[in-house]
């Protein structure tokens, strides 16, 4: 189906492919298109790998923050046991001069309950920040998909 050189609707000196839709002067144009397609494929795969790496980084950062919060809560809990014991006994003994012994122990227990509530609130806030999702990666992936769709529509 090749047309003689210089005839047909193509550029002078070019030959048509068997379907008659692509023209080549020396084969370099088709080769560059194949290289371009391979390059696009490689770039798309590389982009997907980079987005997976970004998602892993975001999630590991969030998990590290939560681990630090949990460690702080655990350390505070251990120290709080010792502190509560000695301060509670000392406070109850001091209050025993003003109120009956049973009332002094209730007052000390109420103060410790308030302190424990503050520690729980602190720990709960640490567990919520940063969010445990790869939001930045998700946004970037959506943008890349939209960009690719726009490029294909051209």
Whole-prediction pTM: 0.39
pLDDT at 12 over 60: no
The pLDDT assigned to 23 comes to 46
pLDDT in tens, 45-65: 888 888 888 888 888 888 998
- Over residues 78-107, the mean pLDDT reads 90
Instruction: Check: CB of residue 102 under 8 Å from CB of residue 56.
Output: no
Query: What's the whole-number average pLDDT of the chain?
Result: 79
Residue with tokens 């047309």: 3
Distance, in Å, from the CA atom of 69 to the CA atom of 99, rounded to the nearest integer, reads 39
The pLDDT assigned to 98 comes to 94
Instruction: Check: CB of residue 130 under 8 Å from CB of residue 61.
Output: yes
For residue 127, give every residue at least 6 positions away whose Cβ sits within 8 Å of its Cβ, in sequence order, or none. Answer: 66, 69, 70
Total residue count of the chain as it appears in this document: 154
Question: Which residues are registered as beta bridge partners of 24?
Answer: 15
- Over residues 70-91, the mean pLDDT reads 88
**Rg of the Cα trace of the chain?**
36
Containing 90, the helix (H) or strand (E) segment is helix 28-95
Cis peptide preceding 45, ω within 30 of 0:
no
Angle between helices 28-95 and 101-128 (to 10 degrees): 170
Q: List the beta strands (DSSP E) in the chain.
A: 15-16, 23-24
Question: pLDDT tier at 18 (50, 70, 90 boundaries)?
Answer: low
Share of the chain above pLDDT 70, in %: 77
């Amino acid at each position: 189906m090749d047309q003689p050189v210089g005839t047909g609707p193509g550029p002078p000196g070019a030959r048509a492919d068997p379907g008659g839709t692509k023209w080549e002067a020396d084969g370099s144009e088709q080769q560059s298109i194949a290289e371009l397609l391979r390059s696009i494929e490689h770039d798309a795969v590389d982009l997907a790998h980079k987005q997976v790496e970004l998602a892993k980084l975001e999630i590991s950062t969030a998990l590290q923050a939560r681990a630090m919060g949990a460690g702080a809560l655990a350390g505070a809990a251990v120290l709080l046991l010792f502190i509560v014991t000695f301060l509670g006994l000392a406070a109850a003994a001091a209050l025993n001069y003003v109120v009956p012994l049973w009332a002094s122990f209730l007052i000390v227990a109420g103060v410790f309950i308030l302190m424990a509530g503050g520690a729980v609130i602190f720990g709960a806030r640490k567990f919520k920040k940063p969010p445990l999702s790869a939001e930045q990666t998700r946004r970037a992936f959506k943008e890349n998909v939209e960009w690719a769709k726009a490029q294909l529509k051209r």
